[in-house]
Chains A and B, each alone.
Chain A
Amino acid sequence: MRDTTAEGYVTADGRRIGGVLMEMRNITLRFGGVKAITDISFDIREGEIRAIIGPNGAGKSSMLNVISGFYVPQEGEVWFRGQRRPPMKPYQVARMGIARTFQNIALFEGMSVLDNVMTGRLTHVRSGILDQAIWWGRAEREEDEHRAKVERIIDFLEIQHIRKTPVARLPYGLKKRVELARALAAEPRLLLLDEPMAGMNVEEKEDMCRFILDVNDEFGTTICLIEHDMGVVMDLSDRVVVMDYGKKIGDGPPDEVRRSKAVIDAYLGVSHD
């Protein structure tokens, strides 16, 4: 058993994981009479790659939507950086430093790759509407700074060659990467990835895995990701939450979770009785 006290722990590959960044306490989410999430608690630590896995319909995406403010849970508390977070609109959550990608890709299809990634900087733009309209000194200097940061991310994710291409023309795998770039451009404290590998071929999956690890390593970004493919997640993540039918059935390091009977049952489909 690892040491998961307040000071954090050290991973097998020697990375230092810090204190608790985000904590979900007894979250319950209902849609009308249907319970999507039942009384789930877990935490995400600074610098960690945390995965939420489970079969289709387990409530993983709902959980991600709770974290990013798209859904407001009926019960439970969300704690972020040591403070209880009141119910918020998604754009307010984004401004707190939580960026995300979507399962079905939500990019600005009509804009170029560069412009898409630049929108990720919006939460960091400080000059006001008048500076912007008149386009003087400060706004221009700021634009240059943002451009430099965005170019770095574009280089990092190896999408320089499509910088000026309208997103609508890109293949699926590249769109996913552009979405990741836009989320990274926000320099988030917590990065949420909704099935980053879904619908990809083997090569694209390997690329995406490498990028996720590199992002965590290079920028020290805390990442919480959702996947239903067990294999990929186990190699990638430090700790795993397993969900089934809206309930938490496992939580811990990958090798520990893999051996858990409840998890094996959920994935192999043992009848619930």
Chain B
Amino acid sequence: MMPDVVFYTAEVMVNGLMAGVLYALVALGFVLIFKASGIFNYAQGVLALFAAMTLVGIQNGQVPFAHLVNAVFGTKVHHFGWTVPSLAAIALTALVMVGLAIAVERLVLRHLVNQEPIILFMATIGLAYFLEGLGDVMWGAEVKRLDVGLPQGMSGLIDEVTFNWFGYGFFIDRLDIAATAVAVALVVTLTLFSQYSKQGRALRAVADDHQAALSVGISLRFIWVLTWSIAGFVALVAGIMWGQKSGVQFSLSLIALKALPVLMLGGFTSIPGAIVGGLIIGMGEKLFEFFVGPMIGGATENWFAYVLALIFLVFRPQGLFGEKIIERV
């Protein structure tokens, strides 16, 4: 009979891994845009919030800009009076994210071609605040419940099976299992797309060398719209998972801050890095909280990830999988 602490540890690790999957999803959105255009997209977290708000709004048949419309025209419209099934609502939201990508390219990126990275970074900060406001005006600022029918609550099956095998029942949230399955499917799809499709090949080409990409007939603008669309879709998936877990509210956009240490660990240019980084951070912070937390008064999850990232910055600034930075003198 193994001591209980082994099982506790295993349970904490598994739960940490599943939290890490969500960090990885957000980090993935950052990496996609950074690879294709060298832009650090500060708005990635807000993108997830905006996607989740739009999804809830469409699902519930909310009238967009209802408050604004009512204030201007003195009407009292709030709902169309219908609800949209989850899958259709997700598809519609994905279309909205594509529209947003086109708008970002037209209104922002196109005018900032060949600018310094810091200028583009500032532009995404502006975009983040704009989107935050737009989301509130369109769908209202109150906390919303998001439910697309993903299973939730403790998995009885796993509890039972593990209890029969080890004499210790594992507690695992079914939503975490679903999130992991969706994330794996998403990463596999993205990998296949980038390896074997025309657009994927063009995407990798642009990430590698802009000039060469132009010379084989790739339109940079199209690629930007494509990457922002994909990043928007990844944000939607992350928004659904987090939204279902803890409601759609402003704090959802702050998960982007958790993605930062993930990126420092995994490297800004590596998709496998974002995934492994997310898993390490997720697992690390849960284990640290479990073993070290009680000794130093708990709440270590707030800072553990950043300290780990800091240590990494000192010893391996390019991250686990990032491209090595060699300056020639």
* Interface residue ranges, A against B (CB under 8 Å): 68, 70, 89-92, 94-95, 99-100, 102, 106-111, 115, 118-120, 122-123, 125, 127, 129, 132-133, 135, 139, 143, 182-183, 186
B60 within 8 A of A: no
Instruction: Tally B residues with Cβ within 8 Å of A.
Output: 24
* CB within 8 Å for A90 and B197 given contacts A108-B205, A119-B205: no
Name the A residues within 8 Å of B218 (CB-CB): 91, 119, 122
Name the B residues within 8 Å of A135 (CB-CB): 192, 196-197
Q: Interface on chain B toward A: helix, strand, loop, or mixed SS? A: helix
B215 and A99 form a contact (CB under 8 A): yes
- Chain A's closest residue to B208 (CB) is A108
- Our pick among A102, A109, A111, A139 for the contact of B215 (Cβ within 8 Å) is A102
* CB within 8 Å for A122 and B201 given contacts A89-B214, A89-B219: yes
A-B contact pairs, 6 of them (CB 8 A): A91-B218, A94-B215, A99-B216, A119-B201, A132-B193, A135-B196
Closest Cβ of chain A to B243, distance in Å, is: 25
Number of A-B contacts (CB under 8 A): 84
Interchain CA distance A183-B215 in the complex, whole Å:
9
B204 and A94 form a contact (CB under 8 A): no
B116 within 8 A of A: no
B 185-242 contacts with A by CB, 8 A:
192-193, 196-202, 204-205, 207-209, 211-220
* Interface residue ranges, B against A (CB under 8 Å): 192-193, 196-202, 204-205, 207-209, 211-220
Name the A residues within 8 Å of B212 (CB-CB): 102, 106-108
A90 and B215 form a contact (CB under 8 A): yes
Name the B residues within 8 Å of A182 (CB-CB): 216
* CB within 8 Å for A127 and B198 given contacts A89-B214, A95-B217, A102-B211: yes
B197 and A123 form a contact (CB under 8 A): no
For B196, B215, B219, B220, the residue with the greatest tally of chain A CB atoms inside 10 Å of its CB is B215
Interchain CA distance A99-B215 in the complex, whole Å:
7
Name the B residues within 8 Å of A68 (CB-CB): 215
Closest Cβ of chain B to A103, distance in Å, is: 11
